Structure 1
């Protein structure tokens, strides 16, 4: 039985802890804050409850597998999973609206044809076929296997297929997500639908590789899910599973250093200079934090390893307490698209013009009575991608509310109060400088959007969570926990889940 110290109580770290405890190891989690969950937090006020991190769960199979492997009770016995249908509603800049069914290609094609015109559905359906090809080519190395030193195929080869031209005897391969929209979808609204998936993950569609097509494909193929009571309930269930497996949690315990002895990780140093010995250390922290705990580690986890993602944006969340019950026919998720795409993208990823653009706003309105004081009120969450470290002004919030009013009837008249959660709040919850949010790992683009491997230059030291392979997002964080547990339990010969 090995002694394992885990730094941080995010979902990836807790997933690793539960699996390692089941394998017979003594696991202690050291969390600098007073609670678990990392970015998966909850804000409550006056009987209203809101998720302040992820609001939906794609690819629930990752957590189903975790609960099957760590106990007798399956995930559905610990939380109530609800398939969201329609999966999303989109309000485009020209006023066109469309609601897309959950995990139904035929239904999606029909809805797009009806809303955007004949042929729109077929172009989107054909795109999903190509996106599936990219998914099939990258699923295992990007989600289910450790990141091996020979990663040239992932970094250099674009898995999204080339598209033949009817009039020309050649094919053309899209290099970015934006080029897929321009060349293959040929409709500004379909392009906005496509690009909104990248933007929600903090990616610039103008530079994100075409392999980012797997992001909308994941939602299409595996559905969009909600956890009754909010996504915080998933973190709660994962924490309780860890406790049931005898994982020990020490909250309010800031790790100030990783102890290295005889060339390998040998424990952690806590604030106050006390040292806890360990046979393995699992760090669920951002690269800058890891480098502070053990200088030089983040810059060179392994010889030839990829660099951490740089310059990732953050999220701004506005929580709305509304008088009046949830309107009949309301949709769980609505995306209100910006009328100024270039202005928004430059404001997030480039050089702001000085005239802030109206943002793309994701509106979440769960049909969940546990989130409100009574049926005469509604809890709505607005999310916007913003530059990391950005401060927020009242005009910024007003622009977000103005956009959201296109999706929420009588929003201004119904508003009781609102709470703003900024990049600084994300930084406080997660410990990540400037509140940056990691993106899922993606193939191609020279490996720029891969995340560093879960092993490091120091034997016995592993990394877990969104800032290590396979990147950000709840499914990817869950898979990082499975990979780290496999590497510790089975050793360097571990090849991934079967």
Structure 2
């Protein structure tokens, strides 16, 4: 039985005010605990940042929400109010427009498998839709096999079972060789989708999540399945509004926030977490500590304590990829026919992957262009706010303080976006750039790395550490903990941590 079940109200310290941490804080406060959040920066929201200038408003983090049911559940469970009572989520339709390297375009409708298949047939030729639809059937099987253990349940001690590949890849007959099955998403794209534009479509989903298609397991097929099944959603006023709503929900449930508070040590007493020590020397006692920041920092706070033994999933040793973002203020109104989200594909996806996961390169990147139809993010109807994003290597392997490199990448993204935004350069008033260094400063993530969702297969190499640690009373939440990165996944981590603290050994996962 959990300690707080015996003692009643527990004192809980939460490190960081990211989305997973705040989701945990709100749920724990509703359960009757006294929760205080210590955030090293001056604001809440973690990666869900905002930049404002001259009446233009930009999201500097995630631009869309998948699986909105996660946050609907949060608001119902913490106040019996629908999500729609605090923000205005709107489905994005079309969900995405793709512009391939040869100029071919296709717009995919939101949450409509039949519509997607029809659009692919029209743009890529008869049979493309059927081939994609058959792939989604296999992707659904991988989703059904992994949904509970990867998203809705704690990472159980027998997590090794998730090392097996759940995607039912087709057997490929090889001349004079034994039949093979695709082990990576790149092989699925080449062998099952025939490469080309359909393969590039699949690989772009991995790259957007910070995954290399050549190494990501075949189970990454669940990423396009999730988007095309549950849809893509935008929050009016920008995605930062979702962070504001969660923060205000925490305040309404008497969660306390202390900003500008840098936690330097986790204190231990009698073999369990007993509080934290701040950079100014202040000591805060607690019955439980929840770390919503990169858990690699925990090991530096507890040097003599082994938090992840050989029988546990450890935090990644190497830095993962980051994001490079260019914010564009444009004169001229947004055309009514413009897609909210356009993916402009790189001419050489393999070379781009080497750039994104190894260092700076010369190939034009795949760029995601966001053009929200939202009066709240522009000064008036005669202007438009546009955001360009590409996956890049983190700061460390690449020196993102190099001004010439930053200028080159800025130019690369603007040039790549021109097919998606006609007359872009003529309309450009000004631009702002956000590099991995800026992301590291805003989120505290080493090198500005952005965590990917947890995935099964590949020998469990794509799992994130459990929400519990080897130190009783110390928990992890947010994108760097199970079930991994992404807004929805972060919200799920908060639900899991709250369940583990409130119900202890009786907790069997979110319902």
TM range (shorter): over 0.9
Q: What is the SS of the residue equivalent to 1:393?
A: helix
Partner of 2:393: 387
Mapped to 1, the partners of 2:174 and 2:257 lie a distance apart of: 64
Q: What is the SS of the residue equivalent to 2:339?
A: coil
Q: Deviations over 1:268-312 (max 9, x none)?
A: 101211101000000111133212222256x63355111223331
**Selected match of 2:274 from 266, 272, 279:** 266
**Selected match of 1:163 from 147, 157, 170:** 170
Q: What is the SS of the residue equivalent to 2:162?
A: helix
Mapped to 1, the partners of 2:279 and 2:56 lie a distance apart of: 36
**Selected match of 2:313 from 306, 314, 321:** 306
2:324 and 2:436 in contact (8 A); partners too: yes
2:173 and 2:180 in contact (8 A); partners too: no
Alignment of 1:475-494 (within 5 A): 475-494=488-507
Mapped to 1, the partners of 2:455 and 2:148 lie a distance apart of: 12
Q: Give how far 1:153 is off.
A: 1.4
Mapped to 1, the partners of 2:260 and 2:280 lie a distance apart of: 12
Q: 2:461 aligned with 1:461, yes or no? A: no
2:182 and 2:218 in contact (8 A); partners too: yes
Mapped to 2, the partners of 1:164 and 1:399 lie a distance apart of: 39
**Selected match of 1:9 from 9, 17, 38:** 17
Mapped to 1, the partners of 2:192 and 2:310 lie a distance apart of: 40
| Structure 1: tracts of 5 or more residues without a match | none
**Selected match of 1:294 from 278, 295, 302:** 302
2:466 and 2:481 in contact (8 A); partners too: yes
Partner of 1:427: 440
Q: 2:375 aligned with 1:369, yes or no? A: yes
Coordinate RMSD, CA, aligned: 1.6
Residues 91 and 264 of structure 1, relative CA distance in 2, 3 Å threshold: same
Q: Deviations over 1:141-184 (max 9, x none)?
A: 000000011112101x1100032569999964210001111111
More divergent stretch after superposition (338-347 vs 51-60): 338-347
Q: Give how far 1:343 is off.
A: 1.5
Mapped to 1, the partners of 2:46 and 2:143 lie a distance apart of: 28
Q: 2:212 aligned with 1:201, yes or no? A: no
Partner of 1:213: 221
Q: Deviations over 1:57-102 (max 9, x none)?
A: 0000000011110003211100001000000000000110000000
Q: Give how far 1:28 is off.
A: 0.3
Mapped to 2, the partners of 1:416 and 1:447 lie a distance apart of: 47
Partner of 1:257: 265
Q: Deviations over 1:395-415 (max 9, x none)?
A: 221111110001001000000
1:162 and 1:171 in contact (8 A); partners too: no
1:358 and 1:403 in contact (8 A); partners too: yes
**Selected match of 1:360 from 363, 366, 373:** 366
Mapped to 2, the partners of 1:436 and 1:178 lie a distance apart of: 22
- Report how many aligned residue pairs link the two structures: 494
Partner of 1:436: 449
More divergent stretch after superposition (160-169 vs 55-64): 160-169
Q: What is the SS of the residue equivalent to 2:465?
A: coil
2:98 and 2:345 in contact (8 A); partners too: yes
Mapped to 1, the partners of 2:195 and 2:216 lie a distance apart of: 19
Q: Give how far 1:493 is off.
A: 2.7
| Structure 2: tracts of 5 or more residues without a match | 1-8
How does the TM-score come out when normalised to structure 2? Answer: 0.94
More divergent stretch after superposition (145-154 vs 229-238): 145-154
More divergent stretch after superposition (438-447 vs 338-347): 338-347
Mapped to 2, the partners of 1:302 and 1:223 lie a distance apart of: 38
Q: Give how far 1:350 is off.
A: 3.4
1:49 and 1:372 in contact (8 A); partners too: yes
Mapped to 1, the partners of 2:13 and 2:451 lie a distance apart of: 23
How does the TM-score come out when normalised to structure 1? Answer: 0.97
Partner of 1:153: 161
Partner of 2:68: 60
Q: Deviations over 1:394-453 (max 9, x none)?
A: 122111111000100100000000000000111011111110011100001111110010
Mapped to 1, the partners of 2:461 and 2:382 lie a distance apart of: 48
Q: What is the SS of the residue equivalent to 2:90?
A: strand
Q: What is the SS of the residue equivalent to 2:394?
A: coil
Mapped to 2, the partners of 1:324 and 1:267 lie a distance apart of: 54
Mapped to 1, the partners of 2:38 and 2:355 lie a distance apart of: 37
More divergent stretch after superposition (171-180 vs 32-41): 171-180
Mapped to 2, the partners of 1:264 and 1:351 lie a distance apart of: 41
Mapped to 1, the partners of 2:456 and 2:480 lie a distance apart of: 16
Q: Give how far 1:482 is off.
A: 0.4
Mapped to 2, the partners of 1:116 and 1:89 lie a distance apart of: 13
Partner of 1:139: 147
Partner of 1:344: 352
2:185 and 2:215 in contact (8 A); partners too: yes
Partner of 1:407: 420
More divergent stretch after superposition (33-42 vs 388-397): 388-397
1:302 and 1:456 in contact (8 A); partners too: no
Partner of 2:4: none
More divergent stretch after superposition (85-94 vs 310-319): 310-319
Partner of 2:230: 222
Q: What is the SS of the residue equivalent to 1:111?
A: helix
